[in-house]
A and B are shown apart, each in its own frame.
Chain A
């Protein structure tokens, strides 16, 4: 057998947890600083921003207008039931809103952070009782279902609350990513480090934004997530989202069989590593939220500059989704970088030893988790 040419396989490297921790504590970025990386990150985030805009609009529409609809057949149409829209939906000339739902389900299932805690609170239950009372008085199907399955509508409302919260979160992120693209075009952002800083500032600025959600039933307004619950953008939605979608993910989708009884998946949900930062860019139909759906959506909105570069590298259009996934992972490491930088317990140059130790512990916990993720994409040689 001849020796396989080294050109055919490429390993992007795998930084250790210590190296990642050192970078975090030094305020450095994970992604290699190159002009090509800047182009990839900015442009892929621009297309992601366009997609998130559609996801966000749809999720908010679903939570408000399809609320407690047990058969939401037209939920992806945003209320537009024109023949043209239905036809485009049927021939799949549309955004894969299913991806947004997978993300919502991942958040709902992993259930971390303040939002999940509130969904189990007595205050929330009291709101739900009022909502269900109003809804069942006008809907015979729900009036029949509710006594039979008393937790069913409650769970649907919890799900709708997560859907709305995710819609609000993505509204902010979409605007942030589109602003970033404008900033890069204006010349205000010209390095990857500046991108990470731009994202950090955006996240910090939105950190305290309130997350609330109300529905209108028969002319009356009912709070599902009232302002007095004190839910905020960063702690209660953004961090659980990163935990559920970037890191943990779900082991169920795809054709790779993970046998829980054979301990092939961890019994501890918190140690799951099926999220976007761990996803294999090659469509191997492995576990996790299928990023191929998102890649397909971003492909529809690729800026010409990035699309042109994709056409010139490797197989051109032939493997464009793999390249989008690689660029997406590069950009998600930038977002993660920004999120970590914005959530350190103390300033990085804090003089006190206790503060430094707390920062070190915080950086170490992140580095440990990220050390087995797809850090190979951080290398500039990984296209």
Chain B
């Protein structure tokens, strides 16, 4: 069942690459939409068949691929990976639907997007470390191409920076996996926490640190975050949607699955430091966001801040906090994708994202009132207002982490407050007041400028509307997502105790 989640996008990518005749952008887009709709439908079928009471892996598929190096084709899905598979399918579809102005090389563009979506599914479904690494690296090249070919004016710099950072991330992760094999003397690359128990604590910490930095770059956490704002600024809107909504989650998923899941003992030892790191990341990301004047960079820095909550939740590693981490991954995916979509609409209509220039876009007649309305909803959700997805996830994270790390949690709460600060700055500057898209100079002359923006067609708002509905739906009905993940996150939280009892049993 799970292999179809790889086959659909990968075969779809090949289908597009070898599509006969001239690659008409509209037709390529339509084919890609059909393929990704199929992927979404199949993901929903997996959800339908998923047993939420089982905290372990389900629908497992396995056969030996390259046995000599321990590379097995081994797939499985649990309550941690299923929501991420779903959001990948949804956001990949959104990113294709919102692609409207691709005129050059549409065949390759859409094929690369499909390739990324398939690779991301591979990352979330892999039950073998090398297979995980294979897919983890596989999404890197298409993304680099998407930024460096279809990006903005500074795309070469941003794409190269992205490539270097994530390549280092890949090297560290591969090094940690190989180190695990080296220290344990086995070529079994299955994901099993018992494996690390054979290692001395020093070795565990060494490997964990390598993984932490590797995934910390991908998430990204301060100080490894500098590639993200540049990549977002230069990437086109659909790529930003995927990058923020899905690709950052590869890092947080790795954090939970491999760092916490494989080294629970060393994780417990390092947890206070990790909580401190989370607080620093949250505060730095939020404060940096306040200083931005490019809307897209502001949203990118907000991602840096909001990813810190997941590290905090993972550090606390309580059942509630881990559930909060899953919620945060999903809600951040939806909210940041929504915000990037809307910033994209503003940019397409006005030609700028500069907060010193944009004003009054909420104007009902000549502005972008519906885009502004959705933006207000998006920033309210991001700031954690009740009734929307952000509130549920932040509440669960803070509630789950407060007892374990009160100071770090309180500092993260301050970061949550700062989210309201920078996003209100954004909304106030760009959407309220007298409409303008020019730098303020002479108030009398500025107030006379007639602004003639093209209206936003209703079909252009469909992807953003769908995301906004999802954000509110999760905020009002969080239990369905909770049901999917609760068993898996509870199992993960109980892992250290389980291992300890195993050790004790072995000793006695």
Contact = CB atoms under 8 A, between A and B. Distances in A.
Given A4-B352, A318-B365, A284 B435 contact: yes
Contact of B455 (A2, A4, A318): A318
A5 B452 CA distance: 10
Contacts of A314: 366, 452
Interface stretch (B131-139, B200-208, B437-445): B437-445
Interface string A270-302: 000000000011111010000000000000000
A287 to B, nearest CB: 12
A144 interface: no
Contacts of A319: 365-366
Interface residues of B, number: 28
Interface of A is mostly: loop
Interface of B is mostly: loop
Given A1-B354, A282-B434, A372-B444, A10 B452 contact: yes
A265 interface: no
Nearest to A382: B450
A5 B434 contact: no
Contacts of B434: 280, 282, 284, 286
A4 B437 contact: yes
User: On chain A, which size bracket covers the interface?
Assistant: 20 to 34
B97 interface: no
Contacts of B435: 282, 284
A12 B447 CA distance: 11
A374 B448 CA distance: 7
Contact of A5 (B351, B357, B363, B366): B351
A376 interface: yes
B354 A8 contact: no
A199 B114 CA distance: 68
A315 B351 contact: no
B452 A12 contact: no
B449 interface: yes
B442 to A, nearest CB: 10
B426 to A, nearest CB: 16
A116 to B, nearest CB: 31
Interface string B113-157: 000000000000000000000000000000000000000010000
Contact of B357 (A4, A286, A372): A4
B419 to A, nearest CB: 24
A282 B366 contact: yes
Contacts of A315: 365-366, 455
A301 to B, nearest CB: 19
B265 to A, nearest CB: 50
A63 B450 CA distance: 40
B448 A12 contact: yes
B436 to A, nearest CB: 8
B438 A284 contact: no
A218 interface: no
B353 interface: yes
B358 to A, nearest CB: 10
A248 interface: no
B268 interface: no
Interface in B437-487: 437-438, 444-445, 447-453, 455
A126 interface: no
A233 to B, nearest CB: 34
A14 B445 contact: yes
Interface string A317-358: 011011000000000000000000000000000000000000
22 contacts: A1-B353, A1-B357, A2-B351, A4-B351, A4-B357, A8-B452, A9-B437, A9-B449, A9-B450, A10-B449, A11-B449, A12-B450, A14-B444, A282-B360, A282-B365, A284-B360, A284-B363, A284-B435, A314-B366, A314-B452, A315-B365, A315-B455
Which 5 pairs across A and B sit closest by C-beta, in order of nearness?
A319-B365, A10-B450, A284-B434, A376-B448, A322-B365
Interface of A: 1-5, 7-12, 14, 280-284, 286, 314-315, 318-319, 321-322, 372, 374, 376, 382-383
Given A282-B435, A319-B365, A319-B366, 9 more contacts: A2-B351, A4-B437, A9-B449, A9-B451, A14-B448, A284-B360, A315-B455, A318-B365, A322-B366
